[in-house]
Amino acid sequence: MNRLLSSQGVTVSYETYGKGPPLVLVHGAFSDHDTNWEFVKPILREQFTVHAVARRGRGETAATKGHSLTDEILDVVEVIQQIGEPVFLLGHSYGAHCSLGAAARVSALVRKLVLYEAAWPKVVSMEALACLEELAANRQWDAFALAFFRDSLFVPAEELEALRATELWRPIISDARASLGDLRALAVHEFSCERFRDVTCPVLLQIGSTSPRQLYVTDALAGVLPNARIEVLAGQAHEAMTTAPELYAQSVTRFLLD
């Protein structure tokens, strides 16, 4: 793990591996710099020098309390600046918000941008957040994750039960405490697509064909970003890098290296 001390006085870490042009990965909630990319890592490392950012509370990055989404955007900015050359930038879910914000701040250092299903902040209602806070206070992390996926992302019950029966559920539960910080930050984040009209680099907006499209800012961003296109990942939902890693890696590689 590489580490830096940010201008905010926070230790930020990121893992580097592979060979080729630099690609910065920013993970979503209920995952970290390793688990979010576990299944695409062997493919991406053959094409890129990957810098996988560990967001707040993951890896060796400080587990701060009360941080904002903007704070994490600035963490990504400083990782990009430390790399010292223009990068490809990819963010998933909450990490897509961080990546978009970083691209707006250091546009000269972002060659191309990939955003996979950044959620509207309203996806986490105050009522839903209150329920999650109660579960967290009682350390009911399994119920916490179930409630979020079921009530906010509308994942069907049968799919959730199937997921809980796999080895993929354990790291989701392990990350639940850190993910509470993500959900708190997202719920109060003021998001406006209009802020990003000046992001002129090529942008790939990925969305799963089975995802509830209204939950995500994908279509709204496509209406304002001057150099963006949407790619629908056939048969996938919110986790194509896990459920269809070869398909996902092909989508990313084709866009970045074309």
Instruction: Tell me the domain boundaries of the chain.
Output: 2-120+191-257
Nearest CA to 44 out of 114, 119, 110 is that of 114
pLDDT of residue 164: 95
Burial class (CB within 10 angstroms; exposed 0-12, middle 13-18, buried 19+) of 109: buried
pLDDT of residue 116: 98
Structure tokens at 240: 């194509």
Residue 168 DSSP code: T
The amino acid occupying position 246 is: E
Residue 119 DSSP code: B
Structure tokens at 44: 């991406």
Burial class (CB within 10 angstroms; exposed 0-12, middle 13-18, buried 19+) of 147: middle
Residue numbers of the chain with a pLDDT score lower than 70 = none
Structure tokens at 113: 């941008």
Find where tokens 């049968």 sit.
158
User: In Å, what is the CA distance from 127 to each residue of 16, 24, 75, 132, 178?
Assistant: 39, 34, 29, 9, 20
- In angstroms, rounded to a whole number, what is the distance separating the alpha carbons of residues 59 and 140? 23
pLDDT of residue 147: 96
Nearest CA to 252 out of 82, 24, 34, 58 is that of 24
Find where tokens 């998001």 sit.
191
- In angstroms, rounded to a whole number, what is the distance separating the alpha carbons of residues 117 and 252? 14
pLDDT single digits (tens) 234-248: 999 999 999 999 999
Structure tokens at 101: 């914000």
User: Domain spanning 2-120+191-257 has what CATH number?
Assistant: 3.40.50.1820
